[in-house]
């Protein structure tokens, strides 16, 4: 999968440019807001702008706007070929997604951050320990993101077209995960509810680790959600395969 994505160099460059452009748009909106507020939630202006560029850089990497190719293969019936492979079904698709994650992280992830650092004062980790925690948090965020998208993809075994579910799942991740605005901007009650959901483990927590606002505890929460979603996905896949066998498909 790493080699497959590396062949689409034009798309990679275009994606990096678009991501950087939206990063600047989001950042300038926040700069305008902070002209009237010294802090919002627990973030000052530097935190908010850093959050914007770091999240913008790694949103494509963790794939919250994309859907698994599995969705299309279920709809077309090509998934039958996948089921014949002597591989664990979920592990196969996770390996595919991790390959995409590795390539896009290297090719696109740092471009918006670097561009933002040239125009704004960003807050970077000051120690190697924080960088290491952030790297682990990104990998766990990818696994949580995969777990959510995998569950949505599997819905295709029961419905004719799951694109509505894909869009709804993307909206939930953007709103409750801190993509539209950081979760820390929400009222206390809503923020507390978001902290209990898996979506904030995809965006909010990794960037807070980057900012030094979260430590190993955030990684533990991500790991719990990653494990829970993988277990749920494995169980749903087993049920879906039983449905395919029963239907003779």
User: Which value, in Å, is the radius of gyration of the alpha carbons in the chain?
Assistant: 19
pLDDT given for residue 208 in this prediction? 93
Low-confidence ranges of the chain (pLDDT < 50): 245-249
pLDDT given for residue 184 in this prediction? 87
Contact status, residue 178 vs residue 200, Cβ threshold 8 Å? yes
pLDDT given for residue 11 in this prediction? 66
Write out the two tokens for 181: 């605005």
pLDDT given for residue 245 in this prediction? 45
Cβ neighbour number for residue 221 with a 10 Å cutoff: 19
Please say whether the dihedral angle defined by the alpha carbons of residues 142, 43, 210 and 121, taken in this order, is positive or negative. Answer: positive
Q: Which residues have CB under 8 Å from 61's CB, separation 6+?
A: 101, 104, 105, 108, 109, 138, 142
pLDDT given for residue 249 in this prediction? 45
Do you know the residue count of the chain? 249
Contact status, residue 12 vs residue 107, Cβ threshold 8 Å? yes
pLDDT given for residue 220 in this prediction? 93
d(CA 198, CA 228): 10
This prediction has a pTM of: 0.87
């Amino acid at each position: 999968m790493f080699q497959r994505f590396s062949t689409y160099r034009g798309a990679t460059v275009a994606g990096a440019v678009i991501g950087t452009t939206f990063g600047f748009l989001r950042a300038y909106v926040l700069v305008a807001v902070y002209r009237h507020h010294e802090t919002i939630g627990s973030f000052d202006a530097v935190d908010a702008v850093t959050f914007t560029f770091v999240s913008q850089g790694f949103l494509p990497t963790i794939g919250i706007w994309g859907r698994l190719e599995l969705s299309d293969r279920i709809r077309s019936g090509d998934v039958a070929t996948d089921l014949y492979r002597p591989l664990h079904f979920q592990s196969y698709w996770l390996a595919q997604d991790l390959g995409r994650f590795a390539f896009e992280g290297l090719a696109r992830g740092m471009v918006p951050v670097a561009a933002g650092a040239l125009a704004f004062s960003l807050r970077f980790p000051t120690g190697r320990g924080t960088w290491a925690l952030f790297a682990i948090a990104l990998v766990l965020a990818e696994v949580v993101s995969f777990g959510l998208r995998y569950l949505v993809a599997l819905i295709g075994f029961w419905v004719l077209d799951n694109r509505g579910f894909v869009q709804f799942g993307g909206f939930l991740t953007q709103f409750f995960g801190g993509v539209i605005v950081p979760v820390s901007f929400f009222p206390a009650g809503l923020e507390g509810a978001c902290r209990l959901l898996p979506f904030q483990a995809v965006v909010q927590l990794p960037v807070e680790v980057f900012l030094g606002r979260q430590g190993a505890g955030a990684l533990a929460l991500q790991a719990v959600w990653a494990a829970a979603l993988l277990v749920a996905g494995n169980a749903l896949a087993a049920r879906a395969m039983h449905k395919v066998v029963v239907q003779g498909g």
